[in-house]
């Protein structure tokens, strides 16, 4: 029973393919997972928009959308109809072809990332040998589409936003990849499925996730910081800073193309959260040994929703950074920390298991963090902020 | 069949990169050529090099060229299509060298051998090769690139001090 529930969608796919005519079978066995990915993550996008607006509203002491349907839960449908029926305005000076291609390529790239995402046991579209490399290769295409959007609009704000976005994404791609390499070293594979399988098993009731090791914990935190910057979310949302450059690279997009940009951005966020879950949080495996009877895909999406909630929480809590702070943080803090973390992962691999390994590796993580933090804070004058009007 | 499609896309991208007047359009066409080449690699079963091609060329080199164009000169300037003597002579040299290479490859002993069975190159083998047998060359390349990076930063810092 538990097994059937776990493999429900796999069985369903085999059943559907088995009942199709023989000539269609090979196409259908690829097409079905693709349709599933499009529908599930499209729906997740709709859920996240309402979740984010409600959550941010609560954090800012207001209600959020509450007019459409009970408690405003139908707001995503209203948003979709609105963006579909709106006029598609293209600036007269815009580069028409590139302006059109940018959102299309963005969404294409964002969806193709999910090909290597193991959302459950036996539930992955393509178990590539180089899955993690595929992930980073495809997500690097998204940077180019952002430039295409910003440049083709012929608007100085959009070009500024695009340049900011590219500079930020290139800077944070280095720590992002370096933080993931620790996991690749520990698992000895770049295949996302193998990485999840390496984290299976329990000690007592606790799982063998990579996040429960000193290097894994540091790596996960560093990965999530870089992921926030990579998906252009607050506090790293300079590329679309509303108060400075209006909306950044998609300022000249309206109607459905704007919705596509929105979709692409959220899909990027889900994808990078999914990669973080796969690398550090054990993918689809259960968090406690007595909870393994719940289907694997439920655990994956529960973790994904938890990550999304954390992203919303951070967005509602932290103020936007300045460009120099952003770059200093990336190159002076994130890069040395990820490099040292790489060494820590190597030490962890070759030391015999036991208390000594924990002590040495914790030391290797904590001491550089404290020293680096102290060093970078030198010359800062931290004092209580005085508000002139808001007190 | 698939190879023909992707080869056509690659060649079309390369031709467009050469002939388009707008520099940014040229970069985008060049990116298309890079991506087409990556797909050809993937089709040949070279997963690592295909994905690295996308990561490095589409993700980094194209962006680098874009930055170079936007930071150095007016991207909107559309130079006239010039056909002068240098263009003709360089075209002749290009065609001649292509002809010589094609002739040499076609008549070489290597092309007459039977196609060897495709070697299995998994990610593990590539990783082991890079980390064990070719560790020293890899380290040297890493050192060289780091030196280049530090050099670039030094030059940039120097320039900044002068302008003040």
CA–CA separation, A230 and A168 (whole Å): 7
Q: Is A141 on the interface with B (CB under 8 A)?
A: yes
* Chain A neighbors of B55, CB-CB under 8 A: 133, 136-137, 140
Interface test with B, best of A113, A137, A141 (most B CBs within 10 A): A137
Residue pLDDT, tens place only, A111-150: 888 988 888 888 888 888 888 889 998 888 888 888 888 8
In tens, the pLDDT along A257-276 reads: 888 888 888 999 999 999 99
* A188 and B CB contact within 8 Å: yes
Per-residue pLDDT band for B161 (boundaries 50, 70, 90) equals low
Tens of pLDDT, residues B52-63: 888 888 888 888
For residue B96, pLDDT over 90 is answered with yes
For residue B26, the distance in angstroms to the closest alpha carbon of chain A comes to 12
Residues 111 to 130 of A: which have CB under 8 A from any B CB? 128-130
Give residue B164's pLDDT.
45
The kind and range of the H/E element at B152 are helix B135-163
Average pLDDT on A69-89 reads 86
* Residue A207 lies in domain: 2-377
Q: Would you say residue A170 has pLDDT above 90?
A: no
Residue A185 within a domain: yes
pLDDT at A361 over 90: no
Nearest residue in B to A177, CA atom = B55
Q: What is the mean pLDDT of residues B16-26?
A: 81
CA distance B133 to A250: 48
Give the model's pLDDT for residue A391. Answer: 58
A390 within some domain: no
* Angle at CA of residue A114, ends A110 and A119, nearest 5°: 145
| Residue A158 maps to a domain | yes
- How many independent structural domains does chain A possess? 1
Structure token digits, residue B7: 């080869």
Would you identify the CATH topology of the domain B1-78? 1.20.120
Chain B within 8 Å of A339 (Cβ-Cβ)? no
Show me where the domains of chain B are located: 1-78, 122-164
User: DSSP per residue over A144-159, as a string?
Assistant: HHHHHHHHHTT-HHHH
Q: Does B20 touch chain A (CB under 8 A)?
A: no
- CA angle at A16 for the pair A12 and A17, rounded to the nearest 5°: 115
What are B67-89's pLDDT values in tens digits?
888 777 665 555 565 566 677 88
Q: How many residues comprise chain A?
A: 391
Complex ipTM over 0.90: no
A130 and B60 within 8 Å at the Cβ level: the answer is: no
Contact by Cβ (8 Å): A90, A152: no
DSSP B110: G
Question: Other C-beta atoms within 10 Å of B71: how many?
Answer: 9
Contact yes or no for A163 and B124 at CB 8 A: no
In whole angstroms, give the CA distance from residue A229 to residue B111.
Answer: 50
Q: How far apart are CA B143 and CA A251, in angstroms?
A: 42
CB contact under 8 A, B123 and A147: no
Q: Is residue A388 part of a domain?
A: no
Backbone angles phi, psi at A202, to 5 degrees: -135, 145
Q: Average pLDDT, stretch A307-334?
A: 87
- Nearest-10 crossing angle of helices B2-19, B23-43: 160
Lowest mean per-residue pLDDT among A35-49, A211-225, A235-249, B9-23: A235-249
- The CA distance from A36 to A38, in Å, is 5
Residues of A in contact with B25 (CB under 8 A): 95, 98
Mean pLDDT for all residues in chain A: 85
- pTM, rounded to two decimals: 0.85
pLDDT score recorded for residue B145: 92
Q: Which residues contact A152 (CB under 8 A, 6 or more apart)?
A: A94, A95, A98, A99, A102
């Amino acid at each position: 029973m538990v097994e059937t529930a776990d493999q429900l969608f796999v069985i369903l796919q085999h059943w559907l393919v088995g009942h199709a005519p023989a000539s269609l079978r090979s196409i259908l066995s690829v097409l079905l997972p693709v349709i599933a990915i499009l529908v599930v993550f499209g729906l997740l996008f709709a859920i996240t928009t309402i979740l984010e607006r409600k959550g941010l509203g609560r954090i800012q002491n207001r209600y959020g959308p509450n007019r459409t349907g009970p408690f405003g839960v139908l707001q995503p449908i209203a948003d979709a109809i609105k963006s579909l029926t709106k006029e598609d305005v293209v600036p007269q000076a815009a580069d028409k072809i590139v302006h059109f291609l940018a959102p299309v390529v963005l969404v294409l790239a964002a969806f193709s990332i999910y090909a290597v995402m193991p959302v459950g046991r036996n539930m992955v579209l393509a178990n590539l040998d180089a899955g993690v490399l595929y992930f980073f290769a495809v997500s690097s295409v998204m940077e180019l589409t952002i430039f295409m959007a910003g440049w083709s609009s012929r608007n100085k704000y959009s070009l500024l936003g695009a340049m900011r976005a590219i500079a930020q994404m290139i800077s944070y791609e280095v720590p992002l990849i370096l933080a993931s390499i620790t996991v690749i070293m520990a698992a000895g594979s770049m295949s996302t499925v193998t990485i999840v399988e390496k984290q299976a098993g329990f000690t007592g009731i606790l799982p063998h996730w990579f996040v429960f090791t000193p290097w894994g914990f540091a790596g996960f935190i560093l990965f999530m910081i870089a992921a926030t910057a990579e998906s252009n979310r607050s506090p790293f949302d300079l590329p679309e800073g509303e108060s400075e450059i209006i909306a950044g690279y998609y300022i000249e997009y309206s109607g459905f193309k704007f919705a596509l940009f929105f979709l692409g951005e959220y899909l990027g966020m889900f994808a990078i959260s999914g990669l973080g879950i796969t690398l550090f949080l054990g993918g689809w495996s259960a968090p406690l040994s007595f909870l393994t009877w719940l289907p694997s895909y439920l655990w994956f999406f529960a973790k994904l929703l938890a990550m999304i909630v954390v992203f919303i929480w951070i967005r509602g809590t932290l103020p936007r950074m300045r460009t120099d702070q952003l770059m200093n943080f990336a190159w002076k803090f994130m890069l040395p920390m990820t490099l040292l973390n790489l060494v820590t992962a190597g030490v962890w691999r070759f030391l015999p298991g036991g208390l000594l390994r924990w002590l040495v590796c914790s030391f290797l993580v904590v001491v550089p963090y404290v020293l680096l933090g102290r060093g970078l804070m030198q010359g800062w004058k931290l004092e209580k902020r005085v508000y002139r009007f808001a007190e | 069949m698939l190879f023909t499609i992707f080869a056509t896309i690659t060649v079309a991208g390369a031709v467009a990169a050469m002939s388009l007047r707008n520099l940014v359009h040229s970069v985008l066409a060049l990116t298309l050529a890079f991506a087409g080449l990556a797909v050809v690699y993937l089709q040949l079963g070279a997963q690592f090099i295909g994905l690295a091609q996308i990561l490095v060329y589409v993700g980094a080199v194209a962006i680098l060229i874009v930055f170079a164009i936007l930071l150095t000169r007016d991207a909107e300037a559309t130079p006239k299509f010039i056909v002068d003597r240098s263009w003709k002579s360089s075209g002749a040299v290009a065609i001649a060298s292509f002809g010589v290479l094609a002739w040499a490859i076609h008549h070489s002993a290597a092309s007459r051998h039977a196609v060897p069975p495709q070697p299995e190159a998994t990610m593990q083998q590539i990783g082991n090769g890079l980390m064990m047998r070719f560790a020293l060359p890899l380290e040297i390349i890493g050192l060289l690139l780091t030196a280049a990076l530090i050099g670039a930063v030094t030059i940039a810092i120097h320039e900044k001090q002068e302008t003040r």
